[in-house]
């Protein structure tokens, strides 16, 4: 066993209550940290303030408690971190790794920008324009990004050519919102996270996170992405696709369902236990290698 303590985290976006997909992520990240005697920290990802729904942070924390989860230490809020994000934007601009960009999505579509796993691939139009800050977004110059792949604990090797498949990505939006990619990298560093467990919808975005960590001199955590929970139409369960809020009066059956989804062994009679007892058993018998990885179209 490694001598460095494992520090994992759960990082919900307070845009509504938790649904079954969020429970699967919470359980996987909790079990992965606790089965290695690690810490499980909590971070509220409220960086995109217009998406925040009043009251949902409290609702999420209550749901997690009712489901038998206990987090360690103080809760971090991204909305308290804006000064740090700002200082890092300055640093990246001064280092010449970031630049201002005046292109809107509409301009990019008109320019027939290709689409990649993270959306439109920016063709680098503003890279050498030396624009000022007025109403402009800030992008990372990925021209010389050397990262081509990384090793995910469950999915294995993930290959991405950043300049080809992702392009110069936004770290600060023209409407003055810090991008998730910047915030997540800054906050995983702040909280000392060394193992990230989260949904496979971020499998490719992780390459962008690794590049930012390299530019900022941060040690990358280990990554374990878990398969997405999908609805009957095959869409990722999310607030946008109409996922229903977890009904915590059904905590035991929901937890057992999540354990089954994650391919974990469920002892007979476990459904008679309390939520905390089920979570404790899930930790004791946890083995991430049992999580079924979908074949074919992975994400
Ligand atoms: N805030 C993201 C979500 O709620 C999680 C991102 C992450 O774990 O890095 O889906």
The pLDDT value given to residue 214: 96
Provide the pLDDT for residue 108. Answer: 84
- Ligand 1 centroid to 268 CA: how many Å? 33
202 with 265, same domain: the answer is: yes
Instruction: Decide which of 141, 172, 203 is a domain's last residue.
Output: 172
Shared domain for 227 and 263, answered yes or no, is yes
Least confident stretch, 178-187, 189-198, 211-220, 264-273 = 264-273
Residue 105: is its pLDDT beyond 70?
yes
73 and 86 part of one domain: no
Q: How many CB atoms lie within 10 A of CB 33?
A: 26
Average pLDDT over the chain reads 93
What number is the average pLDDT over the span 152-165? 94
Contact residues of ligand 1, CB 6 A cut-off = 11-13, 45, 184, 198, 202
- 295 inside domain: no
Say what the pLDDT of residue 234 is: 81
**Which pair of structure tokens corresponds to residue 241?**
């696709």
Domain that holds residue 281: 7-81+184-290
pLDDT at 2: 52
Q: Which protein residue has the closest C-alpha to ligand 1 atom 5?
A: 11
Please give the model's pTM, rounded to 2 decimal places. 0.94
The predicted structure's pLDDT at residue 135: 82
240 CA to middle of ligand 1, Å?
15
70 CA from centroid of ligand 1 (Å): 18
Residue 57 has pLDDT above 90, yes or no: yes
How many domains does the chain fold into? 2
State how far the alpha carbon of 145 is from the alpha carbons of 16, 149, 171, 186, 218, in Å.
36, 11, 16, 19, 16
Q: Based on the fold, state whether residues 188 and 286 are members of the same structural domain.
A: yes
Ligand 1 centroid, distance to 282 Cα (angstroms): 22
User: CA 234 → CA 106, 228, 230, 231, 298, distances in Å?
Assistant: 29, 10, 5, 5, 12
Residue 235 CA to residue 299 CA, distance in Å, equals 10
- Ligand 1 pocket: which of 59, 178, 184 to mutate (most atoms within 8 A of CB): 184
Averaged pLDDT, 190-196: 98
Query: Do 220 and 123 sit in the same domain of this protein?
Result: no
Q: Are 153 and 196 in contact (CB under 8 A)?
A: no
Q: Of ligand 1's atoms, which has the minimum distance to the CA of residue 188?
A: 9
- 225 within domain boundaries: yes
Which atom of ligand 1 is found nearest the CA of 45? 1
CB 193 within 8 A of CB 185: no
Residues 167 and 191 in one domain: no
The answer to whether residue 136 sits within a structural domain is yes
Give 44 Cα–ligand 1 centroid separation in angstroms: 9
- Gap from CA of 201 to ligand 1 centroid (Å): 9
Residue with tokens 């030396």: 130
In a domain, 65, yes or no: yes
The pLDDT value recorded for residue 4 is 86
Asked if 189 and 245 sit in the same domain, the reply is yes
DSSP H helical ranges for 95-179: 105-110
Q: Are 25 and 227 in contact (CB under 8 A)?
A: no
Report CA-CA distances (Å) from 183 to 84, 89, 158, 217, 299. 9, 11, 22, 15, 23
Given a cut of 90, whether residue 298 has pLDDT beyond it is no
- In this predicted structure, the answer to whether residue 89 has a pLDDT above a threshold of 80 is yes
- Residues above pLDDT 70, as percent of the chain: 98
Q: Are residues 48 and 146 in the same domain?
A: no
CATH number at residue 275: 3.40.50.620
* Inter-residue contact 46 to 54 (CB < 8 Å): no
In this structure, of 68-72, 123-127, 188-192, the range with the lowest mean pLDDT score is 123-127
Segment 12-50, tens digit of pLDDT: 999 999 999 999 999 999 999 999 999 999 999 999 999
Domain boundary, last residue among 172, 198, 222: 172
Locate 87 and state its tokens: 């200082």
- 91 and 74: one domain? no
Query: Which among 172, 206, 241 is the end of a domain?
Result: 172
Predicted local distance difference test score (pLDDT) of residue 147? 87
Percent of the chain with pLDDT over 90: 81
Look at residue 296 and tell me whether its pLDDT is greater than 70.
no
- Ligand 1 test: best mutation among 7, 8, 9, 11, most atoms within 8 Å of CB? 11
Residue 213 falls inside a structural domain: yes
* Ligand 1, pocket-test mutation among 202, 206, 240, most atoms within 8 A of CB: 202
Say which DSSP state 201 is in: G
Distance 12 CA to ligand 1 centre (A): 5
Q: Tell me whether residue 299 is in a domain.
A: no
Q: Counting Cβ atoms within 10 Å, is residue 249 exposed (0-12), middle (13-18) or buried (19+)?
A: exposed
Residue in the structure block whose two tokens are 């604990």: 153
């Amino acid at each position: 066993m490694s001598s460095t303590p494992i520090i994992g985290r759960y990082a919900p976006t307070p845009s509504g209550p938790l649904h079954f997909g969020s429970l699967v992520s919470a359980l996987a990240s909790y079990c992965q940290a606790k089965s290695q005697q690690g810490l499980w920290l909590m971070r509220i990802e409220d960086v995109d303030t217009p998406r925040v729904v009043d009251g949902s942070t409290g609702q999420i924390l209550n749901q997690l408690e009712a489901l038998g989860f206990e987090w360690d230490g103080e809760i971090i809020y991204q909305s308290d971190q804006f000064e740090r994000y700002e200082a890092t934007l300055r640093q990246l601009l001064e280092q010449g790794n970031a630049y201002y960009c005046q292109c809107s999505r509409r301009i990019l579509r008109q320019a027939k920008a290709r689409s990649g796993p993270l959306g439109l691939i920016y063709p680098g139009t503003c890279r050498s324009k030396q624009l000022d800050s007025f109403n402009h977004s800030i992008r990372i110059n990925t021209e010389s990004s050397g990262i081509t792949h990384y090793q995910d604990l469950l999915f294995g090797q993930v290959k991405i050519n950043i300049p080809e498949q992702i392009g110069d990505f936004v770290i600060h939006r023209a409407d003055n919102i810090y991008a998730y990619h910047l915030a997540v990298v800054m906050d995983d560093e702040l909280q000392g996270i060394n193992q990230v467990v989260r949904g496979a919808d971020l499998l490719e975005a992780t390459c962008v996170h690794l590049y930012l960590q390299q530019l900022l001199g941060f040690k990358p955590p280990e990554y374990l992405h878990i398969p997405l929970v999908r609805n009957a139409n095959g869409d990722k369960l999310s607030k946008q696709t109409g996922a229903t809020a977890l009904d915590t009066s059904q905590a035991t059956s929901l937890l057992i369902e999540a354990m089954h989804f994650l391919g974990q062994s469920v002892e007979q009679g476990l459904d008679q236990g309390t939520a905390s007892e089920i979570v404790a058993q899930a930790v004791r018998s946890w083995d991430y290698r049992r999580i079924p990885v979908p074949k074919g179209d992975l994400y």
